[in-house]
Amino acid sequence: MDLLLSDEQRQVRDMFARLSDETIAPQAADLDSAGTFPTDLFALLADVGLFGMRYPEADGGAGMRLTEFCLALQEVARGSLSLAGAAAMQSLMGTKFLQLLGTEDIKARLFRPALQGKKIGAICMTEPNAGSDLGAIATRAERTAGGYLLTGQKTWVTSATVADFFTVFARAGAESKLTIFLVERGSVGLTIGRNIQKMGVWALPTAELSLDQCFVPDSHRLSRAEGDGEEHLRKTLAEIRVITGAMAVGVARAALDASIRYASERRQFGKPIGAYQAIQLKLADMATGLAAAELLVYEAARRYDADLPHHCEAAMAKLLASETAATVCDLAARIYASYGYAMEYPIQRYLRDVRFTLIGGGTSEILRLVIARELTR
């Protein structure tokens, strides 16, 4: 489906579409097989300005909006969801709080180099017993001379094995409320644990992290005041959900395009399988669902950019896009039949990778509760 875009938006989308077709997609299978962080392509995305698209020009960014960023990220995801996941972490969750709350020293040493791909950031929220339930976060930050001592366990930390700095959520103060801290790689008491082996996005490393009396100076408490972490996080969740929806649309688009090509090339009983109604019905359902998801993602992005109410729409967009993308990739595998099960075709990768979008930004069950709560306010 061709969205109604401004000239600038179309230029952004087309530039990243070419990059995806010519450079990213041809390397996606090899990246998957290697199972290591996509260093070269990550640097390429930095060179073309993806990481700073949404940050102000004064901070080294391009001053664009969420809509333009989603158009770019969707095309990256169409080529490789692993790379898109790394880019999303670097462009938002891993750097957002440094730009918003960091000192000038932090911005100069870490944030601006991150926009250039010279430093890599990550965010640490999830814990072994705290996923969707932020209230279960148990990592503690105890006051000490000149700073804090952080103790706790984090898991499912995207880009952890290559990150230079981590935004960590921990409980601090007498009321034990979530507070945001910056922890740099090499800090005493910080240990990067095992790399988690996953079903998909094999080129996107995800690891555990341990904090054992890890000293963080006062200048690295990003929160303006102890306990304001949850407020900042909830404001960012809508962005996370919209960009996750855009990534889901991207990988689903790759699956649909591959299915259309295959249906015209694969012949059975003397004609292309795309001539059979059973295949045509699948393609129609895939295209229709994907169009609806794409429209909702960009409506949520548009509302965010216009500073209109958007939290409900962001949750809806992520819910519909991720669930639709999972269905589209499954139908694509059915169209490919036995070849959809073969590692030599990309369909199996789309089918594995797309489940990443069902988790990031909130599970479908949590999103339904968020939507219901917004509707009944």
Are 183 and 211 in contact, with CB atoms under 8 Å apart?
A: yes
Query: For residue 242, which amino acid is it?
Result: V
152 Ramachandran zone, left/alpha/beta (phi>0; psi -120 to 50): left
d(CA 357, CA 246): 10
Residue type, 8: E
- The DSSP line for 149-193 is EEEEEEEEEETTTT-SEEEEEEEETTTTEEEEEEEETT-TTEEEE
Task: Report yes or no: 90 and 209 within 8 Å, Cβ to Cβ.
Answer: no
pLDDT at position 4, please? 85
36-39: long-range pairs with CB below 8 Å, 24+: 36/203, 36/205, 37/86, 37/159, 37/161, 37/162, 37/203, 37/204, 37/205, 38/80, 38/82, 38/83, 38/86, 38/203, 39/162
Res 1: pLDDT = 66
| Distance between CA atoms of residues 98 and 232, nearest Å | 12
pLDDT tens by residue, the chain, 377 residues: 678 899 999 999 999 999 999 999 999 999 999 999 999 999 999 999 999 999 999 999 999 999 999 999 999 999 999 999 999 999 999 999 999 999 999 999 999 999 999 999 999 999 999 888 888 999 999 999 999 999 999 999 999 999 999 999 999 998 899 999 999 999 999 999 989 999 999 999 999 999 999 999 999 999 999 999 988 988 899 999 999 999 999 999 999 999 999 999 999 999 999 999 999 999 999 999 999 999 999 999 999 999 999 999 999 999 999 999 999 999 999 999 999 999 999 999 999 999 999 998 999 999 999 999 999 98
Query: Could you give the CA distance from residue 9 to residue 19 in angstroms, rounded to a whole number?
Result: 16
Angle at 248 between CA 203 and CA 281, to 5 degrees: 120
Give the pLDDT score at 149: 98
Q: Which pLDDT does position 174 carry in this prediction?
A: 86
Structure tokens at 361: 């930004």
The rounded distance, in Å, linking the Cα atoms of 193 and 346 is 31
